[in-house]
Structure 1
Amino acid sequence: MIPRTDDRRFKIAPSILSADLSRLAEQVREVEAAGADRIHVDVMDGRFVPNITFGPVLVKWLRPVTTLHLEGHLMIHAPDDFLDAFAEAGIDSLIVHVEGALHLNRTIQRIKALNLRAGVAINPATPAVMLEEVLPDLDLVLAMTVNPGFGGQSFITGTLKKIQTIRQMIDRENPACELEVDGGVDAETAPKLIEAGARVFVAGSSVYGAPDGPTAGMQRLARAMGL
């Protein structure tokens, strides 16, 4: 088991997108026991990304299963229409895309009004400057290191430079804001992401797709991160 503390420098957020949904409760409890810091819930609508996944009903079902922080990554158009439903279902934080929210500042303020942590995700081809106006209001920035929509994609090496830029922006404007990364995170890429400035790591295939099981996948990733 990886020791879990509130002040741990690097945090792991297993994504249930790669879990065996027929055994979801068991798989979530396994990564919790193995030392996961939070559970990442990928929400896709088939429009913003070419896939359809989870919604508030799954979050409501998942809430009694784990004591871990649940973060909802809303890869959807018009996220404002669903913020209240996710809050009522028991989510702890909501992450919306800079490319998908029409009035991003208003969306962030609504998330905060619901007493949730507010995050903004940014796609690989979107410049970091798009975060500049909202960064002071954020609890978390999620830098996508693959194009969103599917699990198991290969890490885009070119995103490392942008992560460095975002790290500098956060350190200057809002040091309390977390820098999270999502896509192709494994034992090989994690050290490079740490060097670039990431502190929270969404891991799907490298944990739930590990041939020797999620616990071993967690341990391998933790070793690579120096935990």
Structure 2
Amino acid sequence: MKIAPSILSADFGKLAEEVKVICNAGADFIHVDVMDGHFVPNMTMGPMIVEAVSKASTKPLDIHFMVENIPFFVDMYAHIKPEFITFHIEEEKHINRVIQQIRNYDIRPGVVLNPATPVSLLEYIVADVDMVLLMSVNPGFGGQKFIPSVIDKIKELRELAIKKNPNLLIEVDGGVNDKNAKLLKEAGADILVAGSFVFKSNDYKKAIESLR
């Protein structure tokens, strides 16, 4: 199991220090939530802040766009060279075009599904992406309660991936903690995003180990 702490829950007053500490505590990726105040009712990090995070990090970045006008944001953040860029299929009309746009920057593309978005919509694109992020809360804010129905979505997605893309990574984001991590792994998840659970703990390393 890979763990990607979400810096949305970090202390932004000492963000570089938080990133360094979380890397040393055993994080596999640094999850970066980019929100524009339109697709979701919140705003977070512009490219200058994300670039500073990248410079402070010894782990690869995993950027999750919760934005409108996705191609514009891909071009704006691509120079930071994250490992992954993921975007919501609910927002994008030309999904394959954006997947290729991300690949053209030598970045691994992924797509994101909101809790109520069915896995069946991925049937004709799952072979073209490296990762699918399943939201287990409605996006926009940290600290929300886990939606249990995502367990069945993970299982369904894993079955689809076995048929069409065996190397697909399944990431889960929202309300992840040490109580549901085992269920997520057993369902077929590869990467767990955890914000509040890690950053609100007294021991980042212990929190990450409990998820793993």
Asked if TM exceeds 0.5, the reply is yes
Corresponding residue number in structure 1 for 2:196:
205
Post-superposition CA distance 1:136-184 (Å, at most 9, x none): 1100000111110100000001121111100111111101110000001
SS at match of 1:180: strand
Residue 214 of structure 1 deviates from its aligned partner by 2.1
Q: CA contact under 8 A between 1:181 and 1:200: conserved in structure 2?
A: yes
Corresponding residue number in structure 2 for 1:220:
210
C-alpha separation in 2, matches of 1:215 and 1:23: 18
> Is 1:114 aligned with 2:143?
no
Corresponding residue number in structure 1 for 2:155:
164
Residue 67 of structure 1 deviates from its aligned partner by 2.0
Question: What are the equivalent positions in structure 2 for 1:82-97 lying under 5 Å apart?
Answer: 82-97=73-88
> Is 1:49 aligned with 2:40?
yes
Corresponding residue number in structure 2 for 1:137:
128
Corresponding residue number in structure 2 for 1:17:
8
C-alpha separation in 2, matches of 1:135 and 1:90: 23
C-alpha separation in 1, matches of 2:60 and 2:186: 25
Residue 98 of structure 1 deviates from its aligned partner by 0.7
Q: CA contact under 8 A between 2:31 and 2:64: conserved in structure 1?
A: yes
Residue 213 of structure 1 deviates from its aligned partner by 3.4
Corresponding residue number in structure 2 for 1:3:
none
Letter in 2 for 1:221: L
Residue 100 of structure 1 deviates from its aligned partner by 1.4
Letter in 2 for 1:180: E
SS at match of 2:34: strand
SS at match of 1:118: strand
Corresponding residue number in structure 2 for 1:33:
24
Letter in 1 for 2:155: Q
What's the TM-score, normalizing by structure 2?
Answer: 0.97
Corresponding residue number in structure 2 for 1:182:
173
SS at match of 1:43: strand
Letter in 1 for 2:148: T
C-alpha separation in 2, matches of 1:157 and 1:181: 12
Residue 121 of structure 1 deviates from its aligned partner by 0.5
Report the identity percentage.
46
Q: Select the residue among 57, 60, 63 that pairs with 1:66.
A: 57
Post-superposition CA distance 1:111-146 (Å, at most 9, x none): 001110000000110010111111111000001111
Residue 216 of structure 1 deviates from its aligned partner by 2.9
Letter in 2 for 1:191: K
Q: Which runs of 5+ in 2 are unaligned?
A: none
Residue 25 of structure 1 deviates from its aligned partner by 1.1
Q: CA contact under 8 A between 2:20 and 2:58: conserved in structure 1?
A: no
Q: CA contact under 8 A between 1:179 and 1:200: conserved in structure 2?
A: yes
Residue 187 of structure 1 deviates from its aligned partner by 0.2
What's the TM-score, normalizing by structure 1?
Answer: 0.90
Residue 61 of structure 1 deviates from its aligned partner by 1.3
Report the aligned-residue RMSD: 1.0
C-alpha separation in 2, matches of 1:202 and 1:25: 19
Letter in 2 for 1:165: E
